[in-house]
Amino acid sequence: MKKILVLHTGGTIAMSEDHQTGAVTTTGLNPLLHQQLQFDEDTQLIIEDFLQLPSPYMTPSYMLLIKERILTGIDEGITGVVITHGTDTLEETAYFLDVTIGDRIPIVLTGAMRSSNEIGADGLYNYQTAIRVASCDESIGKGTLVVMNDEIHTARYVTKTHTTNVATFRTPTFGPIGLVTKQHITFYQQLIEHHCLNIESVNGTIPIIKAYAGLGDSLFPMILGSNIDGLVIEALGAGNLPPETLPALDHLLEKNIPVVLVSRCFNGVVEGVYDYDGGGRQLEKKGVIFCNGLNSQKARLKLLVGLNAGLDDKQLYDFLVEHV
Contact 305, 199 (CB under 8 A): yes
Q: Is 168 helix (H, G, I), strand (E, B) or coil?
A: coil
Catalytically annotated residue among 9, 12, 154, 159: 12
Provide the 10 A C-beta neighbour count for residue 43: 17
Is residue 139 annotated as involved in ligand binding?
no
Beta strands in 149-244 (DSSP E): 151-154, 159-160, 169-170, 178-180, 185-187, 208-210, 231-235
d(CA 113, CA 83): 15
Contact 270, 288 (CB under 8 A): no
Q: Burial-class residue 36 by CB neighbours within 10 Å (0-12, 13-18, 19+).
A: exposed
Question: Catalytic site residue 87?
Answer: yes
Which residue type sits at 226? S
Is residue 110 annotated as involved in ligand binding?
no
Question: Catalytic site residue 12?
Answer: yes
> Which DSSP helix (H) or strand (E) runs through 144?
strand 144-148
d(CA 291, CA 269): 8
Is residue 88 annotated as involved in ligand binding?
yes
Catalytically annotated residue among 9, 79, 87, 93: 87
d(CA 147, CA 133): 8
Provide the 10 A C-beta neighbour count for residue 121: 20
Buried b (16+ CB within 10 A) or exposed e, 72-106: ebeeeebbbbbbbbbbbbbbbbbbbbbbbbbbebb
Q: Burial-class residue 238 by CB neighbours within 10 Å (0-12, 13-18, 19+).
A: middle
In the annotated binding site for substrate, the residues are 55, 87-88
In the annotated binding site, the residues are 55, 87-88
> Mind telling me the catalytic residues?
12, 87
